[in-house]
Amino acid sequence: MAKEKKGIRLEHISKIYKDPKTKQDFYAVHDVSLNIEPGSFATLLGPSGCGKTTILRMIAGFESPDEGEIYLGDEAINALTPNKRDTAMVFQSYALLPHYNIFDNVSYGLKLRKMDKETIKKKVTDILGLVGLEGMEARMTNQLSGGQQQRVALARALVLEPGVLLFDEPLSNLDAKLRVTMRTEIRRIQQEAGITAVYVTHDQSEAMAISDKVIIMEKGVMAQMGTPQEIYYHPNSEFVADFIGEANFLKGKLKSVSGGVGHFDIAGGSADIQADGHAAGGEYTLVLRPEAAVVADSGQLPCKVVLSCFMGSYQNYHVMVGDALVRITDFNPKNKKIYKEGDQAFVKFDPSSVHIL
């Protein structure tokens, strides 16, 4: 689809706003540097107010950075107006023209570029095929479902053949089931078109499902950037571990290290965990994902079951390890021993599934 695959590079980007209450300046985005590869799908993920949408709007040209430079491919674009940038935006609200049919909505940008009618017709027909709306050119947008409106908005952006496609929480107006369908479609279309995409969401499962790289934002700074697997299995902070998926945090004292394996004392129990680069004698926080542990008759950490709840595909346990609450998701419980509330047991896990912060 795209004429040329272009990457995005941010070099020490900052955006300063004035707080309307205190009248004090504050950094909405502070000293963010990142590189998004051409043809890849990168997602800016984080809670409200973390700076993710501000970064997207600076790439699009709707906001100007107060510090730093943005590059599209090899071109510095800070001084370019939005219409001069080789980008297209898909908005949360779709921003469709209500009195136009699908064809006229999708062709609008091409007509502004003074393309001839035959070229416009071919481009619109091709792009509607890509987004699954072929044969619906004459349908008015107010007759469409939310998912169909989202496809029209996507087609309207793609038909311009931008170097980079920008998404501002495009699925937030859809119901949960349709969100899952549409995120899969967006990923398919992005890959078929071979276009670079930058996507903003606060939904961690959405980010995991569609991204080559996830950029987690916290209070205006980049907390971590990596593949979904890197961020899930090797978070660099409690904030990242807690934001992407569920996590249990256990305090452990590293008693000794031998051959890269550390012996930890943890709340009345002990475990040997890979501990390269960590010094004996230190106190560390250990990240244990709920699905990485089971409740068993023997294991590393003695515990007391305080919640045992059958959820169909898994048994949901809450157990106390010392004074720490640990959540455990034990999948496919049908033929397993089910522990009841009040039972004394152990938390058992593969040491390689524990991450040391």
**pLDDT for the residue numbered 60:** 95
pLDDT of residue 64: 95
What are φ and ψ of residue 5, in 5° steps? -80, 125
Nearest residue to 314 (alpha-carbon basis) of 340, 336, 287: 336
Which residue(s) pair with 286 in the sheet? 250, 356
CA–CA separation, 309 and 315 (whole Å): 6
Model pLDDT, residue 132:
87
pTM of the model: 0.88
Q: Domains, the chain, ranges and CATH? A: 8-242 (3.40.50.300), 247-356 (2.40.50.140)
The pLDDT score that the predictor gives to residue 3 is: 62
Question: How many angstroms separate the CA atoms of 25 and 17, rounded?
Answer: 6
Q: How far is CA 2 from CA 173, 175, 184, in A?
A: 28, 30, 20
Closest by Cα among 244, 159, 160, 155 to 202 = 244
* Calpha distance 178→181 (Å, rounded): 5
pLDDT digits (tens, 9 = 90+) for 7-60: 999 999 999 999 888 989 999 999 999 999 999 999 999 999 999 999 999 999
Instruction: Supply the DSSP symbol for 340.
Output: P
How would you write the pLDDT of the chain (357 residues) with one tens digit per residue?
446 789 999 999 999 999 888 989 999 999 999 999 999 999 999 999 999 999 999 999 999 999 999 999 999 999 999 989 999 998 888 788 888 999 999 998 888 888 889 999 999 999 898 888 888 889 998 888 888 888 899 899 888 889 999 999 988 888 888 889 888 988 988 998 899 999 999 999 999 999 999 999 999 999 999 999 999 999 999 999 999 989 999 999 999 988 888 899 998 888 889 888 888 888 999 999 999 999 999 999 999 999 999 999 999 999 999 999 999 999 999 999 999 999 999 999 998 899 999
